[in-house]
Structure 1
């Protein structure tokens, strides 16, 4: 079996596999649009000895917000295998190759939307992003309130203004994409729907909502704000659709406060597991992560189990500076930290640092093992940060 990048002349073969695996049908115009945006250098395939494509996976170079910083992230997508090639280790080999490729390319983390959580957990990914889905009857929508400024519909929004709002909003969370111009132009602004922006008294954009209305239902696709005034103004705008809709639906962060802010909070709320993440390169990630400040010279020993990425597997010493810089370096049993050892697998470490699962919680449920002192240090040094993701790939 050969693992290699696809070529442009293999586009049709790749599209045939994708359509079959994901039960899609691309018409001629759709195929042409996909051809224009196809990046064969991002697409990796497993081929048999005759050069036949058996399986494929895409590695998309992204940046994601983590603890207020942008980190290079490899997005795994489009994983597909022909049925006669399944259970032959194709995807396993592709994912192992993907980890090596992402590490080489400087992606210290990876994210994906799983068809099966148990399947990708075997390869070191862990659930990190859950979201809330609201279904709000018209009579329970937030009250319409006066807010200085203006909400206006825009036929062609200024994506630079949108991105300023989005970036400020997204940086509050971990796991959100750092959207670039290409993502806005080809993945966001090409969708059908209505855009409305909130401008404050000075004419500055502080919030936006992208939505559509069909069959008496308003569906919010994308919404962000940088101020409380913008949030109230946008909800007032949504409530002004009350004569034409019976309900509104939207996806929100898991810690969204809307129900508390409603006069009647008896709305439908669903918790939806969404994306998985993985630490690809633990040493690089620890350097990039924004640890909480503390006392200079604090450290713990960290024993990581990672069967898929041997560079992460083993015993390390995790040191912190007073200003929140971290360093992870291999160590020996004789050089373990006086504060004790934390033992965990790569999934638990990912859940702690990318999934907002607290160290004490993970120890309580047997996902990490460590002394009280070591766990207390992690509790102090790992800042709480809700995860969220507004996009799909």
Structure 2
């Protein structure tokens, strides 16, 4: 059949719970998830269909159908994130895939445009995703905003125990204090997910059944930190370490060090630009850094209206030209006015722009992942020195934190 006839035959529609098996089959094919993979993760008797059923119930899932056959799909999760203390509605893009025989028909590009348009309608002014291909998503307007630092600490280099007034208690994963601690933590960390029920399900979906939790309680019996972990073959695996103050961090590492006789190595990840080596007694450890999540501004005007710029000595104005590979409403010349309190107002139009920038770079810059001075130096923005310094004074110097996965 000719490709023109094929394009005439396919249709765009919502993917519903009745399509769960097809949704599962497409995910497994595209991401090459085998039965062996499911065994490794302890899922040999469970299907992705059941694991991902909440997606079809709570997310906005759309796809292309060839007759009754689902051939291409993506899902948008309804999430929220903390951006410099402001709560943003975020569209989490996931489940992206097309069968190879339907490739190069522009199906995914049309799905993404459809999804981004609906995000704008829901006032989700930013979208996050975990990239299977960074170049591919950069071409669609996303950019890297967080890194993952993976570390390995040999048992001989575990930190020495330090006296703290509280103690760690081991509990089950269902303990309510875990979510209470994380809620406080997420409000302290720019970029972090505010985990709703779906976010927690996604975060813990593929974890081993042996996962356990240690909660640090201070001397007033208040929970101030937790550790999700498991021990296997003399390795202490950290899924997540969350703490709302330094006392809790020390207390959790005391708990890890107490496993000295049981383990030879501790392995874990950090999702912020703060290597572990600096705070260890012996910091000569192995740490590897890799890009983690990407994001893109969906609606630049709404994003700016919510964005907390740094307070200034006087009102400021910036005229810039913005490009976007997919969204026409993010294209053109704009005028940004920022008052002394850091409130920004964006209007379309303006003359003599002093900044040329694209949407991926604007996202990385406003999220604090890369500074304006650096972006100008590597040619990602075109601006004079006065404009670069103006931007430096507007954007808070805090690196995003994001540890979730969906």
Where do residues 73-112 of structure 1 align in structure 2 (5 Å cutoff)? 73-112=90-129
**Which deviates further from its counterpart, 260-269 or 169-178?**
169-178
**Aligned pair in 2 of structure 1 residues 37, 157: CA closer, same or farther (>3 Å)?**
closer
Question: Which residue of structure 2 aligns with residue 221 of structure 1?
Answer: 239
Q: CA deviation at 1:227?
A: 1.3
Q: CA deviation at 1:142?
A: 1.1
Question: Which residue of structure 2 aligns with residue 312 of structure 1?
Answer: 330
Q: What is the CA–CA distance in structure 2 between the aligned matches of 1:273 and 1:189, rounded to whole Å?
A: 22
- Is contact 1:129-1:355 (8 Å) kept? no
Q: 1:243 aligns with which of 256, 261, 265?
A: 261
Corresponding pairs, count: 386
Q: 2:357 aligns with which of 331, 341, 344?
A: 344
2:391 matches 1:373: no
**Aligned pair in 2 of structure 1 residues 202, 354: CA closer, same or farther (>3 Å)?**
same
Q: What is the CA–CA distance in structure 1 between the aligned matches of 2:205 and 2:135, rounded to whole Å?
A: 34
Q: 2:24 aligns with which of 9, 15, 23?
A: 15
SS at match of 2:274: coil
Where do residues 108-187 of structure 1 align in structure 2 (5 Å cutoff)? 108-155=125-172, 157-159=174-176, 161-184=177-200, 187=203
Q: Root-mean-square deviation (CA), in Å? A: 1.9
Q: 1:332 aligns with which of 347, 350, 359?
A: 350
Q: What is the CA–CA distance in structure 1 between the aligned matches of 2:113 and 2:304, rounded to whole Å?
A: 22
Q: What is the CA–CA distance in structure 2 between the aligned matches of 1:183 and 1:118, rounded to whole Å?
A: 26
2:370 matches 1:357: yes
SS at match of 1:171: helix
- Is contact 2:126-2:295 (8 Å) kept? yes
1:173-225 Cα shifts (integer Å, max 9, x gaps): 33321112443366439943110101011100011001000011010001111
2:306 matches 1:288: yes
SS at match of 2:145: strand
> What TM-score, normalized to structure 1?
0.93
- Is contact 1:281-1:311 (8 Å) kept? yes
Q: CA deviation at 1:70?
A: 1.6
2:216 matches 1:198: yes
**Which deviates further from its counterpart, 120-129 or 294-303?**
294-303
Q: What is the CA–CA distance in structure 2 between the aligned matches of 1:268 and 1:71, rounded to whole Å?
A: 35
SS at match of 1:293: coil
Q: CA deviation at 1:327?
A: 1.0
2:83 matches 1:66: yes
Q: What is the CA–CA distance in structure 2 between the aligned matches of 1:14 and 1:236, rounded to whole Å?
A: 45
Q: CA deviation at 1:35?
A: 6.6
Q: CA deviation at 1:256?
A: 2.3
> What TM-score, normalized to structure 2?
0.90
2:47 matches 1:30: yes
Question: Which residue of structure 1 aligns with residue 402 of structure 2?
Answer: 389
- Is contact 1:293-1:322 (8 Å) kept? yes
SS at match of 1:80: strand
Q: CA deviation at 1:84?
A: 0.7
- Is contact 1:157-1:195 (8 Å) kept? no
Q: What is the CA–CA distance in structure 2 between the aligned matches of 1:32 and 1:253, rounded to whole Å?
A: 29
**Structure 1 unaligned residues grouped into runs of 5+:** none
- Is contact 1:314-1:330 (8 Å) kept? yes
**Which deviates further from its counterpart, 10-19 or 21-30?**
21-30
- Is contact 2:139-2:325 (8 Å) kept? no
**Aligned pair in 2 of structure 1 residues 348, 189: CA closer, same or farther (>3 Å)?**
closer
